[in-house]
């Protein structure tokens, strides 16, 4: 009778020491149990368009030689922490939600990694705008009023106000680039 009691006591101590989520991993796979922080990160929901508000921080713009860099901000408007990883999908649109030119290409300045965004907190991705490319011949620029943003690895988009001259011709006029999402605000 003492052995079952010891097992129950040992299991209870494990739950208290590692936390309930870690205990689930421990009992399911005793040979390769991840650490408690890894388990907690794995249990966070992935950020969706419904969790985030997107906006371009025009006041933090930097640049030179016809290329401007803006922080594309992702504010978590939900009541829970969520996580995201990788590059957002970005394109400029007119007021009728018609995409203008090609979508942004990936800017590979940063290695992507998981970013946790607490409720009310903000993460960012560097958005590059090549004004020099828009002014070239063949681009046929027009004014965009919105930016359409897909959070990384999502199929539903958010919209933010961003007035800029945009190419109307695709296939070779790369005027937008976006880097992998990073923690915190600004550049």
Phi and psi torsions of 185, nearest 5°: -100, 165
Residues 36 and 70 reside in one and the same domain: no
104 and 60 together in one domain: yes
CB 147 within 8 A of CB 84: no
When divided into structural domains, the chain yields a total of 2
Decide: 149 and 162 in contact? Cβ < 8 Å: no
Q: How much is the pLDDT for 14?
A: 36
Mark whether 177 and 94 lie in a shared domain. yes
pLDDT tens readout for residues 23-70? 222 222 233 334 445 545 568 999 999 999 999 999 999 998 889 999
* Alpha carbon distance 88, 153 (integer Å): 7
- Residue 120: give its domain's CATH number: 2.60.40
Helix (H) or strand (E) holding 141: strand 141-150
Give buried/exposed letters for 37-59 (b at 16+ CB in 10 A, else e).
eebeeeeeeebbbebbbbbbbee
Kindly report the pTM of this predicted structure.
0.75
Same domain assignment for residues 35 and 60:
no
The answer on 151 and 127 residing in a single domain is yes
pLDDT of residue 152: 96
Query: What pLDDT does residue 40 have?
Result: 53
- Confidence at residue 31, expressed as pLDDT on a 0 to 100 scale: 30
- Binned average pLDDT, 10 residues per bin, the chain of 187 residues: 40 36 29 44 88 95 91 97 97 93 94 96 96 85 95 96 91 91 85
* Surface-to-core class of residue 121, CB atoms within 10 Å of its CB (0-12 exposed, 13-18 middle, 19+ buried): middle
Residues 57 and 149 in one domain: yes
Asked if residues 29 and 15 have their Cβ atoms less than 8 Å apart, the reply is no
Query: For residue 10, what pLDDT is reported?
Result: 39
- 37 with 85, same domain? no
Q: List the domain range (segments joined by +) for residue 90.
A: 52-183
pLDDT of residue 187: 60
Residues 12 and 87 in one domain: no
């Amino acid at each position: 009778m003492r052995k079952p009691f010891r097992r129950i006591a040992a299991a209870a101590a494990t739950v208290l020491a590692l936390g309930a989520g870690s205990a689930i991993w421990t009992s399911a796979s005793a040979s390769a149990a991840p650490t408690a922080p890894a388990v907690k990160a794995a249990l966070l929901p992935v950020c969706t368009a419904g969790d985030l508000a997107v906006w371009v921080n025009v006041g933090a713009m930097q640049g030179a030689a016809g290329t401007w860099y803006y922080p594309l901000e992702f504010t978590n408007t939900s009541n829970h922490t969520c996580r995201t990883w990788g590059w957002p999908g970005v394109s400029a649109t007119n007021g009728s939600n018609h995409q203008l030119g090609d979508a942004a290409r990936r800017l590979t300045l940063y290695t992507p990694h998981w970013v946790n965004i607490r409720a009310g907190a903000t993460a960012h991705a560097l958005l590059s705008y090549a004004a020099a490319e828009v002014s070239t011949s063949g681009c046929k620029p027009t004014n965009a009023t919105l930016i359409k943003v897909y959070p990384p690895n999502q199929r539903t988009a958010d919209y933010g106000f961003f007035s800029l001259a945009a190419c109307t011709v695709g296939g070779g006029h790369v005027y937008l680039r976006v880097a992998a999402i990073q923690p915190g605000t600004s550049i």
